[in-house]
């Protein structure tokens, strides 16, 4: 599923959070929205998700205009910074959740759900945790379960908002490599918000640098790091080079 953002604007009162953004995201790409705090990354992600609607502009998935569509119709999966796992449910139940709440007609059988959940737990290499509760897992493991849960409904687009933001540096580094490998396996179109240059560099196929609601530069990690488009991008990436 490709994503096309055309002339999108979003204000909160007088504050312009997203300022005339145009962006095309290719099918199967892992794109990082990178920029300082308050640059509009999360707002743009929420607009793609349908959790927020733009004041003007158009969002298309492939060629279909989905600007007015509700989040539940868009076929997107989410992973947020703070694990939104249900504490009172086991890992298995958490991953199965999106399938069990489907309308009866669309709901897979118990056996199908079990097969799928077990496969996803293998994919995130945590099949041994199925009967545990989230409190019995480490922060990194919980985020991997959150990812398995997001993938359970076979999203057309996977949206991740600072997914490793709450973890310590060592676990973050491990999860970056892990997410990259996972994406190479499943190839779902993914958009990933981060303020961490190294994270974007290591994980993404493509980096979109944002500042004050605008896109400053958009390219492969090599293009952005080797040829910063302007002084803002140069300064922002400064402590990596
Ligand atoms: P980033 O993800 O780059 O840190 P955000 O998209 O979260 O940036 O926020 C951009 C700006 O918009 C911030 O200054 C924030 O305060 C403001 N903002 C975001 N959401 C809302 C909201 N629901 N109401 C008012 N202001 C908001």
Evaluate: CB of 14 within 6 angstroms of ligand 1.
Answer: no
pLDDT of residue 239: 55
pLDDT digits (tens, 9 = 90+) for 179-212: 998 899 999 999 999 999 999 999 999 999 999 9
Q: Are 148 and 93 in contact (CB under 8 A)?
A: no
Half-sphere exposure of 189 (CA within 13 A, CB side): 17
Q: Give the pairing type, strands 56-61 and 64-65.
A: antiparallel
Mutate to test the pocket of ligand 1, among 43, 51, 212 (most ligand atoms within 8 A of CB): 43
Considering the domain delimited by 1-75+155-241, tell me its CATH architecture. Answer: 3-Layer(aba) Sandwich (3.40)
pLDDT digits (tens, 9 = 90+) for 209-236: 999 999 999 999 999 999 999 999 999 9
Mutate to test the pocket of ligand 1, among 15, 194, 196 (most ligand atoms within 8 A of CB): 15
Consecutive H or E run containing 8: strand 3-12
What's the chain's average pLDDT? 93
Residue whose tokens read 């199908």 = 112
Evaluate: CB of 35 within 6 angstroms of ligand 1.
Answer: yes
Q: What is the mean pLDDT of residues 54-77?
A: 94
What residue spans define the domains of the chain? Answer: 1-75+155-241, 85-154
């Amino acid at each position: 599923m490709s994503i096309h953002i055309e002339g999108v604007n979003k204000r909160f009162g007088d504050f312009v959070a997203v300022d005339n953004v145009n962006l095309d995201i290719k099918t199967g790409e892992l794109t990082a929205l990178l920029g300082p705090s308050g640059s509009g990354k999360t707002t743009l992600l929420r607009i793609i998700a349908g959790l927020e609607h733009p004041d003007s502009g158009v969002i298309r998935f492939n060629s279909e205009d989905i600007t007015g569509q509700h989040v539940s119709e868009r076929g997107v999966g989410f992973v947020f910074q703070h694990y939104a796992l249900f504490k009172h449910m086991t890992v298995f139940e958490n991953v199965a959740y999106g399938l069990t709440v489907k309308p009866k007609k669309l709901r897979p059988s118990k056996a199908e759900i079990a097969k799928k959940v077990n496969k996803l737990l293998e994919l995130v290499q945590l099949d041994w945790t199925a009967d545990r509760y989230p409190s019995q897992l480490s922060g990194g493991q919980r985020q991997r379960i959150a990812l398995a849960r997001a993938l359970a409904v076979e999203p057309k687009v996977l949206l991740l908002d600072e997914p490793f933001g709450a973890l310590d540096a060592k676990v973050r580094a491990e999860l970056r490599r892990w997410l990259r490998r996972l994406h190479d396996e499943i190839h779902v179109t993914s958009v990933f918000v981060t303020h961490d240059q190294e994270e974007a560099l290591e994980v993404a196929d493509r980096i979109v640098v944002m500042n004050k609601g605008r896109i400053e530069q958009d390219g492969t990690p090599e293009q952005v790091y080797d040829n910063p488009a302007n002084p803002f991008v140069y300064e922002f990436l400064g402590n990596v080079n």
